[in-house]
């Protein structure tokens, strides 16, 4: 002990010790007195009033049981059911009451012929070690027929009761899985964050998509039922009930028919299609391929199927609509052009000579067309997708002006869709590069940025939204999947000259309908005018965190992109299509986009748009 | 209790046994192990024979014993040196909880740093009494008025940081552990009696500042039968469990109250009710005797401590242990309001066990790190 702590050497210290010990005695006696009070209390309860409590313990058998709420259903915009609750049967097991666990297990294995017997066995191994008096539910559901089979032999298996419950089902299977999401068993991590009262009696929770985002709405709140039981815990009668409040139904803006049509167009390809209403942001189709069946997850997916999906080289779990980050390629050009003419960097009529390349600092930046496009004005630059025009333009503008022109269209920021975890993409600027890469900006990078390559990354949803904003002439819509009844006040992009917007849109119309347009082949038969832009994105090595398409096979193929909207004058639908490694935009993505739009008008406005259109307005020269 | 000092010291000097060399106090360890073994058995029964639950608790006990052993190796003068810093850190963490705390069950008691999640108020259960002991390590008996005021202020500061979490129960108990140091440091009797009178008189004021759920608990405590299926349910079922146990109990694994799930939180806060139901009044008396033995041994260690700092710590730790036992048993038997407190060394759970075992480690360190006296 240090010197200053040693108090034993003087009288005062001795006195102090004596006083301290006196207080120790006081404390200990105090302790004993209070323990004596506890023992007196126990004597009262356990001896004097024992008989009364004994009676209560045997007679009083009112317990409280939770009634789990019914989960809200999900419908598409035409009230077609997308997520339903179907009654299924399950077995509840109480170990204490079972005679022969192994015999019961064998019987169950025989009846459950659709489940690997080993999984049943594994459950029983765990079950044998758990609380012997609690009831556990076998995590496999029984069909009506299987339930009937068990009912016949149930008298041989005490401690096992057949119960009915509601199981989440997705009648359209894999369709729209990335929008709907799915429910699954609550895991440990979720358990920590949940309000245990609200989830009493519930073992599933929304895991992704709408099911997760609107968990609070869909879940509802549990009810309570008092149950009188006898000493053995058998239910005698049900008393007072506080009914559960079911979750609310949700109506989506999706059209399942359009969705399935769009999914079928993608075939085996990887990619995404987003179609939305440019006036209010309602999403009509939300396609990310490949798709997978959410029904697998409801009762817990087995490891084999899960691993097969997880390690599938096409990565079906990735929600490409919000997490696929792709270089926008030439689809960025209409936005670039609009930014340039609105801010007077170039006049729409000014012609630039394109020899097929631009030389900057001894480096030759090639146009996709080796021979060049000759004299090019803005219209031609968009219609023929001339790269050199935008190379030159970008050097005049500089990356920060490009950034400021594109940012209002939502590139590089969240769209605010009602699904968790969307990616932001990248809209580069000098400040961005300094902050993220810690390096200064090079002007050569501006050149490739102008055609949507380089650092530029965008999600299909961002691209569709930007297209919608262009289509509706500057109304900044927020894409959303759940129909909302209140109309949001929309921000409006400042329009300097509306004719600039009309010129860009006219050029996009020419992409589809003029004889030189990159997508002219696909729109000839259309009875209405649409606007569009193709894109063919070179696959650079991205250091993308979320999803890196070039990690996949065929990785050297270009991504095929298309954006478009229709009709030109009063847009009802805007679309973005991305097909990974599928070659040029005009070959793959554009026809898909056109077909989806065509289907949309067949479904919704066939009277208005199909018969008696002014055919002469179209260019059929191709 | 024997206070024959010199003889004891001679014994220590001559026969420094294995346990002594490992800085373990055999008697204290014996009491603790008996309690922990009882705990494992009752937790197993209360969980309805859940092996997973018992295995987890066994692992926790193993870890807690190891940590006790480690703390027993730290000489008290090291703790003395670090005390002000520990206190400062504790206060900062309590403030951090208020700012960034994770909200569990409506109170922000948890702090998350990376993967670690802990309750700073749990650490304060040890740090506050040590700090107050540090404050009085050099003082006279009875201490000066200024020092008493300073001590009271530190207790009030800690208590108020915890009470706003809001966690009234823990705040009161931690405050009591600090006050117990003041008592052993020589707080004048007249101050003590005046304070007790003051608390009784100010009860109506406290009532005014309580949260709804706290008021509810007090009301339920006063008339549990008024709300038999709401908050009174816990107490009624617990009393039924205890009372139906009778004198010799229903036998091990015989708690129908726990097994038919009438008893809430049967492995944690209400573990005593399961023990009382299965082992009856005799079991209860046995348990209280075991606790008394541990407390007596701890107080003996306090009486043998060589300096003011360590003797105050030892005495205060034992009083805190006692208060926890009393409050829990008082609660489950309907003598005190339900405050949601585990029964020391018995309840299922890790954090309170860990705190307790650290305090036992410090106690053992105090007893086995004594310098031989020159006299």
Q: What is the pLDDT of residues B154-191, one digit of tens each?
A: 999 999 998 887 777 788 889 999 999 999 998 899 98
Percent residues over pLDDT 90 in chain B? 50
**Is the pLDDT assigned to residue A552 strictly greater than 50?**
no
Digit-coded pLDDT (tens) for B59-110: 999 999 999 999 999 999 999 999 999 999 999 989 988 887 665 545 566 7
Domain finish residue from A186, A220, A251 = A251
| DSSP string computed for A415-440 | ---SSTT----B---HHHHHHHT-S-
Sheet containing B116-118: which strands, arranged edge to edge?
A: B102-104, B107-113, B116-118
Nearest Cα residue in chain A from B302: A24
- List the single best residue of A2, A22, A24, A51 to mutate versus B (max B Cβ within 10 A): A24
Are A28 and B302 within 8 A, CB to CB? Answer: no
Tokens for A463?
């691209």
Is residue B346 within 8 Å of residue B356, measured between CB atoms? no
Q: Distance between CA atoms of B264 and B234, rounded to whole angstroms?
A: 6
Do residues A374 and A415 share a domain? yes
With a cut of 50, say whether residue A582 has pLDDT above it: yes
Last residue of a domain, one of A251, A280, A301: A251
A373 with A479, same domain: the answer is yes
Of A251, A271, A291, the residue that ends a domain is: A251
The verdict on A293 and A207 lying in the same domain is no
In this predicted structure, the answer to whether residue A525 has a pLDDT above a threshold of 70 is yes
pLDDT tens per residue, range A119-165: 889 888 888 888 777 778 888 888 888 888 888 888 888 888 888 88
Q: How confident is residue A113, by pLDDT bands cut at 50, 70 and 90? A: confident
Is A79 inside any structural domain?
A: yes
Residue A81's CATH number: 3.90.1310.10
Instruction: Give yes or no: residues A49 and A125 share one domain.
Output: no
Same domain, A247 and A369: no
Please tell me which residue in A330, A385, A394, A586 is annotated as part of the active site. A330
Q: Give me the helices (H) in chain B, please.
A: 5-14, 18-21, 26-46, 51-72, 76-100, 120-135, 145-163, 168-185, 189-209, 212-222, 232-245, 256-259, 271-304, 308-332, 351-368
**Site of tokens 């937790």:** B43
Q: Which residue has the higher pLDDT, A312 or B283?
A: B283
Tell me: do A216 and A280 sit in the same domain.
no
Could you tell me the residue range of the domain that residue A25 belongs to?
3-57
CB contact under 8 A, A41 and B281: no
Tell whether A269 and A234 lie within a shared domain: no
Is residue B364 predicted with pLDDT exceeding 90? yes
Dist CA A184 CA A440 (whole Å): 47
Say yes or no for a CB contact (<8 Å) between B239 and A35. Answer: no
The Cα B304–Cα B308 span in angstroms is: 11
Within-domain flag for A622? no
From chain A residues 31-90, the ones with a CB under 8 A of any chain B CB are 31-32, 34-35, 37-39, 41-43, 45-47, 49-50, 52-54, 56-58, 60-64
Instruction: Assess A238–B contact: CB distance below 8 Å, yes or no.
Output: no
* Angle formed at CA B295 by CA B291 and CA B301, multiple of 5 degrees: 150
Question: Does B3 contact A56 at a Cβ distance shorter than 8 Å?
Answer: no
Which among A7, A46, A129 has the least Cβ separation from residue B308? Answer: A7
A573 pLDDT exceeds 90? yes
Among chain A residues, CA nearest to B53: A130
Q: What is the mean pLDDT of residues A269-283?
A: 94
* Contact check, Cβ <8 Å, A24/B330: no
Give the model confidence (pLDDT) of B228-279 as tens digits.
Answer: 555 567 888 889 999 999 999 988 988 877 776 777 778 888 999 999 999 9
CA–CA distance, B260 with B239 (Å, rounded to integer): 15
pLDDT at A138: 86
Same domain, residue pair A238 and A293: no
- Residue holding tokens 């030892």? B314
Q: Alpha helix locations (H) across A175-228?
A: 177-180, 188-193, 209-213, 215-219
Residue A19, chain B, CB below 8 Å: the answer is yes
Which residue of chain A comes nearest to B189, CA vs CA?
A: A23
- Are A504 and A437 within one domain? yes
* pLDDT score of A556 more than 90: no
Do A160 and A141 lie in one domain? The reply is: yes
Contacts of B288 in chain A (CB under 8 A): 35, 38-39
CA distance A343 to chain B (A): 46
Window 109-138 of A, Cβ < 8 Å to B: 129-134
Residue of A15, A21, A63 lying closest to B303 (CB–CB)? A21
Radius of gyration of chain B (CA): 21
How confident is the model at residue A254, as a pLDDT? 94
0.95 exceeded by pTM: no
Chain A CB within 8 Å of residue B133 CB: no
- CATH value at residue A288: 3.40.710.10
Q: What is the mean pLDDT of chain A?
A: 86
- Is A513 in the same domain as A439? yes
Residue A330 is among the residues annotated as catalytic for this protein: yes
pLDDT at position A83? 94
In this prediction, residues A103-125 reach a mean pLDDT of: 88
| CB interface of B with A, residues 162-201, below 8 Å | 180, 183-184, 186
Q: End-to-end alpha-carbon separation of chain A, Å?
A: 101
Distance CA A471, CA A489 (A): 18
Could you give the residue ranges of the DSSP H alpha helices within A311-348?
Answer: 320-323, 333-342
Residue A611 lies in a domain: yes
**Residue ranges of E strands in A117-263:** 135-137, 160-169, 183-185, 204-206, 220-221, 223-229, 235-242, 245-246, 250-251
Q: Which of A18-22, A96-100, A506-510, B109-113 has the lowest mean pLDDT?
A: B109-113
Q: Contacts of residue B291 in chain A, CB cutoff 8 Å?
A: 35
Q: Give me the number of domains chain A comprises.
A: 3
Please report whether residue A377 resides in a domain. yes
Q: How far is A58 from chain B (nearest CA, A)?
A: 9
> What integer is the mean pLDDT of B285-291?
96
A416 and A550 assigned to the same domain: yes
* pLDDT value at residue A259: 96
């Amino acid at each position: 002990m240090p010197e200053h702590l040693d108090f034993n050497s003087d009288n005062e210290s001795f006195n102090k010790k004596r006083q301290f010990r006196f207080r120790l005695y006081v404390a200990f006696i105090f302790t004993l007195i209070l323990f004596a009070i506890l023992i007196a209390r126990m004597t009262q309860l356990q001896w004097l009033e024992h008989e009364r409590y004994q009676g209560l313990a045997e007679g009083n058998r009112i317990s409280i049981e939770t009634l789990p709420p019914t989960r809200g259903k999900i419908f598409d915009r035409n009230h077609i059911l997308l997520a339903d609750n179907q009654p299924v049967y399950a077995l509840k097991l109480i170990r204490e009451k079972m005679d022969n666990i192994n015999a019961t297990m064998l019987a169950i294995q025989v009846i459950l012929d659709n489940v690997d017997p080993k999984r049943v066995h594994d459950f029983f191994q765990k079950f044998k070690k758990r609380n012997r008096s609690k009831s556990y539910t076998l995590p496999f559901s029984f069909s009506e027929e299987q339930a009937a089979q068990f009912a016949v032999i149930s008298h041989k298996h005490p401690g096992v009761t057949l119960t009915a419950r509601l199981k989440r089902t997705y009648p359209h299977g894999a369709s729209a899985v990335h929008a709907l999401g799915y429910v699954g068993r609550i895991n440990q991590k979720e358990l920590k964050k949940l309000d245990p009262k609200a989830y009493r009696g519930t073992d599933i929770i929304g895991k992704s998509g709408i099911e997760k985002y609107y968990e609070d709405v869909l879940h509802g709140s549990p009810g309570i039922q008092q149950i009188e039981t006898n000493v053995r815990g058998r239910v005698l009668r049900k008393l007072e009930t506080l009914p559960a409040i079911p979750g609310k139904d949700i109506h989506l803006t999706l059209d399942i028919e359009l969705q399935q049509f769009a999914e079928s167009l993608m075939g085996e390809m990887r990619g995404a299609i987003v179609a939305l209403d440019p006036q209010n942001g309602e999403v009509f189709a939300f396609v990310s391929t490949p798709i997978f069946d959410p029904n697998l997850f409801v009762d817990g997916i087995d490891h084999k199927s899960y691993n097969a999906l997880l390690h599938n080289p096409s990565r079906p779990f990735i929600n490409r609509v919000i997490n696929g980050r792709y270089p926008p390629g030439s689809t960025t050009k209409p936005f670039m052009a609009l930014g340039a003419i609105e801010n007077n960097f170039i006049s729409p009529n000014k012609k630039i000579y394109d020899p097929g390349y631009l030389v900057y600092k001894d480096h030759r930046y090639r146009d996709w067309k080796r021979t060049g496009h000759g004299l090019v004005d803005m219209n031609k630059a968009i219609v023929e997708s001339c790269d050199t025009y935008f190379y030159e333009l970008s050097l005049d503008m500089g990356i920060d002006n490009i950034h400021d022109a594109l940012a209002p269209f939502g590139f590089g920021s969240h769209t605010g869709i009602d699904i968790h975890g969307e990616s932001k993409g990248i809209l580069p600027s000098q400040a961005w590069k300094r902050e993220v890469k810690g390096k200064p900006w090079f002007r050569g990078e501006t050149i490739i940025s102008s055609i949507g390559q380089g650092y530029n990354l965008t999600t299909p949803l961002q691209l569709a939204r930007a297209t919608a904003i262009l289509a509706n002439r500057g109304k900044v819509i927020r894409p959303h999947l759940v129909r909302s009844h209140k109309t949001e006040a929309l921000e409006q992009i400042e329009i300097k000259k509306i004719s600039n917007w009309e010129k860009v849109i006219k050029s996009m119309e020419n992409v589809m309908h003029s004889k030189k347009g990159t997508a002219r082949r696909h729109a000839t038969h259309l009875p209405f005018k649409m606007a569009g832009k193709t894109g063919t994105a070179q696959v650079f090595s991205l250091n993308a965190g979320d999803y890196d398409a070039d990690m996949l096979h065929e990785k050297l193929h270009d991504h095929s992109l298309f954006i478009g909207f229709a009709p030109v004058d009063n847009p009802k639908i805007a679309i973005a299509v991305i097909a990974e490694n599928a070659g040029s935009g005009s070959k793959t993505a554009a026809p898909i986009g056109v077909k989806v739009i065509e289907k949309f008008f067949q479904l919704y406005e066939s009277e208005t748009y199909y018969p008696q259109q002014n055919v002469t307005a179209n260019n059929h020269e191709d | 209790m024997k206070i024959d000092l010199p003889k004891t010291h001679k014994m220590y000097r001559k026969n420094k046994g294995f346990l002594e060399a490992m800085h373990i106090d055999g008697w204290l360890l014996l009491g603790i192990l008996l309690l922990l073994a009882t705990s494992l058995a009752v937790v197993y029964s209360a969980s309805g024979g859940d092996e997973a639950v018992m295995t987890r608790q066994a692992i926790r006990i193993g870890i807690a014993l190891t940590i006790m052993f480690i703390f027993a190796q730290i000489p008290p003068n090291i703790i003395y040196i670090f005390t002000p810093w520990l206190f400062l850190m504790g206060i900062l963490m309590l403030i951090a909880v208020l700012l960034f705390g994770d909200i569990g069950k409506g109170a922000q008691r948890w702090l998350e740093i990376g993967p670690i999640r802990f309750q700073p108020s749990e650490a304060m259960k040890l740090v506050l009494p040590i700090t107050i002991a540090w404050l009085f390590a050099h003082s006279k008996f009875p201490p000066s008025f200024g020092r008493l005021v300073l001590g009271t202020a530190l207790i009030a500061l800690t208590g108020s940081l915890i009470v706003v979490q809001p966690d009234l129960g823990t705040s009161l108990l931690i405050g009591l552990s600090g006050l117990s140091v003041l008592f052993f440091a020589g707080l004048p009797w007249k101050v003590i009696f005046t304070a007790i009178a003051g608390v009784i008189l100010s009860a109506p004021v406290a009532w005014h500042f309580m949260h709804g759920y706290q008021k509810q608990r007090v009301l339920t405590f006063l008339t549990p039968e008024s709300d038999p299926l709401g908050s009174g349910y816990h107490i009624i079922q617990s009393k039924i469990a205890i009372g139906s146990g009778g004198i010799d109990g229903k036998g091990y694994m015989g708690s129908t109250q726990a097994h038919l799930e009438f008893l809430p939180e049967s492995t944690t806060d209400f573990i005593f009710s399961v023990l009382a139901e299965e082992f009856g009044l005799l079991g209860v008396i046995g348990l209280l005797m075991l606790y008394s033995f541990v407390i007596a041994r701890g107080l003996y260690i306090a009486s043998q401590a060589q300096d003011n700092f360590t003797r105050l710590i030892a005495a205060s730790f034992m009083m805190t242990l006692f208060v926890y036992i009393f409050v829990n048993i008082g609660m489950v038997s309907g003598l005190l309001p339900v405050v949601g407190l585990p029964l020391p060394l018995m309840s299922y759970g890790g954090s309170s066990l860990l705190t307790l075992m650290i305090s036992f480690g410090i106690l053992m360190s105090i007893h086995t790190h004594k310098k031989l006296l020159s006299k």
